[in-house]
Amino acid sequence: MAAKTTVKKASETTAKTTTKTTAKTTAKPAPKAAAKPASKATAKPASKKHHDRVFISEADQYLFGQGIHYEIYKKLGAHLSCEDGVEGVHFAVWAPNASAVHVIGDFNNWSENVSPMNKLGSGGIWATFVPDAKEGDLYKFLIFTPSGERLYKSDPYGNSQELRPGTASRIVELDRFCWDDKEWMEARRKKDYNHEPVAIYECHIGSWMRHPKPEAEGFYNYRLFADKITEYLKEMKYTHIELMGIAEYPFDGSWGYQVTGYYAPTSRYGSPEDFMYLVNKLHRNGIGVILDWVPAHFATDDHGLGRFDGQCIYEHPDPRKGEHPDWGTKIFNYEKTEVRNFLIANVLFWIRQFHVDGIRVDAVASMLYLDYGKKDGQWCPNRYGGHENLDAIEFFKHMNSIVHGTYPGFLTIAEESTAWPKITGDVNDDGLGFSFKWNMGWMHDFCEYMKLDPVFRRDHHYAMTFAMSYNESENYILPLSHDEVVHLKCSMLEKMPGYEVDKFANLRCGYTYMFGHAGKKLLFMGQDFAQEREWSEERELDWNLLVEPLNRGMYDYVRELLNIYRKYPCMYEFDNCWDGFEWLNCDDKDRSTYSFIRKSSDGKHTLAFIINMTPMLWEDYKLGVPTDKKLKLLLNSDETRFGGKGSKVKATLTPVEEQCDYKDHAVTLNIPAYTALIYIY
């Protein structure tokens, strides 16, 4: 999260500047392209829905008040309806402190007194049926506060929003799309991803590839992106894509980490049905979809959740609990049942309505610690005097229990940067219940080591081996994410020391170490072909580099690593225990070499990794091995096709009976400079 600090500070001012307008100016219809009708291949006629007059029952209100109405998004928001034979839209919003609420929009010419809402019971829900409203109309809630304020708010449960800088919600139907990913969805329920390959491609749609036509604002829509990204992911052999910034947000520079519309796919790239097309296409091609999800904080823009009805109902009213001073954002009030319901139902919404396969939960550490990013006086302790956020802890346990209990095979991934115990532990054993945790410690040690001039690497040798000492404590993902290539941190390539050819050789060694190490894998877009510039959301990746021999060689090499990773069970079957990993020699700091094996449950196709992190050729290098079988060369990072020098290495290693490295057999080989070798036996 530290890498996002600058962006998040900037977004508060910029986003407000573009959205502080009157209701009518923010509600101008978006360009027609923003709300495309579904194609014939993926659409069916909208069905006429018939509801009782009691659209929101007393039971609905009770369950919401208890924080356990897991389909509350079907009640709150805007829903096409038919009452007494009249078609229209049912609107509902939670605003417990409002003195009155009206719905305004295209259907009533934005008149502020035409469509008042009725308060239902004591829980704070307001509702009304508007006969003239229809799909595609823009709308907002006009909230009157007891103090006389008039607040123009987007719908917290709205499923679409006009293209920024407009901030009005849009009425849409989500049940029209014809899914044909049944085979994928059924297979997902049976998966235990601890023993499956997980190779994630983290991607920002708006800067992956830019559209040449100016009327598209430089963005490919979800459908065009789907066709291009699917081809790319299949060729590279990734198992999943993780999409940044899908829930609606006002400021491009926040990358989607300052959300205003948790229930709406951003209109930057098209309609909700367009996003469904993307997920469906990926599923039909065997690729899972993970969304970045941001329950830690939300944007302060006037049309959003902040002071929604004149008081703090989504954020904590105490600024010591309700504000992030470094990020300029509001913190959800996890004490409040309706807020917990809003967030947990939101995960279920993305699963049920859009078939997503996982969430990567942003900034988990900021939720777990009351003093995260705060100085003395900026936070208050819990009831026991500690800095743990007890309500956030219970929220995570609740969320993961419901999600995993209802949808086996769904992934919840924590971006958590501290040593908080049992992030992926069972909730019945006081764990938080996540599927995986990003191994931020490994990432930090890896990047710091790889940046070093080789002459200094011997003094930091154990930074690269340390992660295995705690590997069993959690189910880990090894992330090289967007946070590592922004804010003057340099691209992965530019972190490497030496001349240009050395940088590429270093990076090939580093990626080999990453793929061989225990833990699932994540690469940010562009890293797999050695993007040379830092990432920026304002431009596309430098795809032109693929014509350069070194960059093309890196692309081919990472594709080869991904193919090996997917092909051999030893690479992923045992990632959270020592059954699948064994050091051959982890102590050779003087020559900065690392060697280890990856093992499978059936004992077949064991892979041996030997990596030289120096510009020196190590001749007659003797290495202990736990086998008398011949080792055959599977991959050599120094091959000319990958941009290497083409140094010759032994195609076969024949073990001899000799004590070496605490093993009963040994092999002897030459290890070229900056070279990673993988052997198989």
Distance between CA atoms of residues 124 and 140, nearest Å: 18
Distance between CA atoms of residues 41 and 535, nearest Å: 36
Distance between CA atoms of residues 292 and 211, nearest Å: 23
pLDDT of 13 strictly over 50: no
pLDDT digits (tens, 9 = 90+) for 376-411: 999 999 999 999 999 999 999 999 999 999 999 999
Residue 671: beta bridge partners? 618
- Range name among 44-48, 68-72, 327-331, 349-353 with the lowest pLDDT average: 44-48
Q: Is residue 374 part of a domain?
A: no
When pLDDT is averaged across residues 493-509 and rounded to a whole number, the result is 98
Catalytic residue chosen out of the listed positions 106, 162, 309, 415: 415
pLDDT at 35: 36
Here the CATH number for the domain that contains residue 672 is 2.60.40.1180
Instruction: Write the DSSP symbol of residue 439.
Output: -
Here the CATH number for the domain that contains residue 50 is 2.60.40.10
Q: Is residue 355 part of a domain?
A: no
pLDDT digits (tens, 9 = 90+) for 621-676: 999 999 999 999 999 999 999 999 999 999 999 999 999 999 999 999 999 999 99
Domain boundary among 154, 170, 186: 170
Mention every residue, 6+ apart, whose C-beta is less than 8 A from residue 67.
337, 338, 340, 341, 344
The Cα-based distances of 4 to 165, 421, 474, 486 in angstroms read 22, 25, 25, 9
When pLDDT is averaged across residues 483-502 and rounded to a whole number, the result is 96
Q: Quick one: pLDDT band at residue 237, thresholds 50, 70, 90?
A: very high
Q: Quick one: pLDDT band at residue 215, thresholds 50, 70, 90?
A: low
Mention every residue, 6+ apart, whose C-beta is less than 8 A from residue 606.
570, 597, 598, 599, 600, 627, 680, 681
| Phi, psi at 535, each rounded to 5° | -75, 145
Whether 376 is catalytic is: no
pLDDT at 53: 54
pLDDT digits (tens, 9 = 90+) for 83-141: 988 999 999 999 999 999 999 999 999 999 999 999 999 999 999 999 989 999 999 99
Catalytic residue chosen out of the listed positions 12, 302, 362, 474: 362
Distance between CA atoms of residues 243 and 360, nearest Å: 9
167 neighbors 135 (Cβ within 8 angstroms): no
Could you tell me the strand order of the sheet in which 618-625 lies? 618-625, 663-671, 656-660
pLDDT of 6 strictly over 90: no
- Nearest Cα to Cα of residue 162 among 308, 343, 263, 32: 32
Q: Is residue 594 part of a domain?
A: yes
Distance between CA atoms of residues 407 and 397, nearest Å: 15
Domain count, the chain: 2
Instruction: Write the DSSP symbol of residue 52.
Output: -
Helices (H) and strands (E) in the chain, counts: 16, 29
Share of the chain above pLDDT 70, in %: 92
Q: Is residue 666 part of a domain?
A: yes
Q: Is residue 239 part of a domain?
A: no
pLDDT at 213: 72
424 neighbors 448 (Cβ within 8 angstroms): no
Q: Is the dihedral of CA 510, 512, 513, 519 positive or negative?
A: positive
| Phi, psi at 650, each rounded to 5° | -65, 130
pLDDT at 40: 35
Q: Which domain holds residue 629?
A: 578-680
Share of the chain above pLDDT 90, in %: 90
Q: Is residue 253 part of a domain?
A: no
Q: Is the dihedral of CA 85, 86, 89, 93 positive or negative?
A: negative
pLDDT digits (tens, 9 = 90+) for 155-209: 999 999 999 999 999 999 999 999 999 999 999 999 999 999 999 999 999 999 9
Distance between CA atoms of residues 113 and 44, nearest Å: 36
When pLDDT is averaged across residues 416-445 and rounded to a whole number, the result is 97
The first and second tokens of residue 182, run together, are 């049944």
Q: Is residue 289 part of a domain?
A: no
pLDDT at 7: 36
pLDDT digits (tens, 9 = 90+) for 323-382: 999 899 999 999 999 999 999 999 999 999 999 999 999 999 999 999 999 999 999 999
Centre a 10 Å sphere on the Cβ of residue 418 and count the other Cβ atoms it contains.
13
491 neighbors 534 (Cβ within 8 angstroms): yes
pLDDT at 17: 34
Q: Is residue 378 part of a domain?
A: no
Whether 186 is catalytic is: no
Domain boundary among 170, 194, 216: 170
pLDDT at 322: 95
pLDDT at 54: 73
Domain boundary among 133, 155, 170: 170
pLDDT at 218: 80
